[in-house]
């Protein structure tokens, strides 16, 4: 009985933690590790994976009044490769390279 009650409480707690707040702002997620805040109350959160360059791409401001004041590269393209540092050592790092075009 105790196990069943513990399981029910655990499921309820997980559901409450996963549920968004009623007053939460709208968030659009694409894979990257950065968060941009729009002036219209929306966020653009960029989750995983974390690239080895900071920032992974540039945010440009638009002042035309019809869109958010931030604008990202429309299609950032990422490619990565394993690099040895120094060249003949056993230590490797994963380097990420980004390219794209501004809005």
pTM check: above 0.85: no
How does 18-48 read in b/e, with b if 16+ C-beta sit within 10 Å? eeeeeeeeeeeeeebebebebeeeeebebee
Both tokens of residue 10? 């655990």
State the pLDDT at residue 17: 56
pLDDT tens, position by position, for the chain (103 residues)? 556 555 655 655 555 555 555 455 555 554 444 555 555 666 555 554 444 444 444 444 444 444 444 444 434 445 555 656 666 666 666 555 544 433 3
Identify whether the C-beta of residue 34 lies closer than 8 Å to the C-beta of residue 55.
Answer: yes
- At residue 72, φ and ψ (nearest 5 deg) are -100, 170
């Amino acid at each position: 009985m105790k196990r069943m009650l513990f399981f029910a409480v655990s499921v309820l707690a997980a559901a409450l933690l996963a549920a968004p707040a009623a007053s939460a702002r709208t968030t659009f997620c694409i894979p990257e590790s950065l968060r941009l805040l729009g002036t219209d109350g929306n966020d653009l959160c960029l989750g995983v994976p974390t690239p080895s360059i900071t920032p992974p791409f540039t945010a440009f401001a638009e002042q035309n009044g019809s869109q958010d004041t931030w604008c990202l590269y429309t299609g950032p393209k990422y490619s990565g490769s394993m690099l040895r540092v120094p060249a003949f050592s056993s230590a490797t790092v994963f380097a990420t390279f980004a390219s794209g075009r501004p809005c």
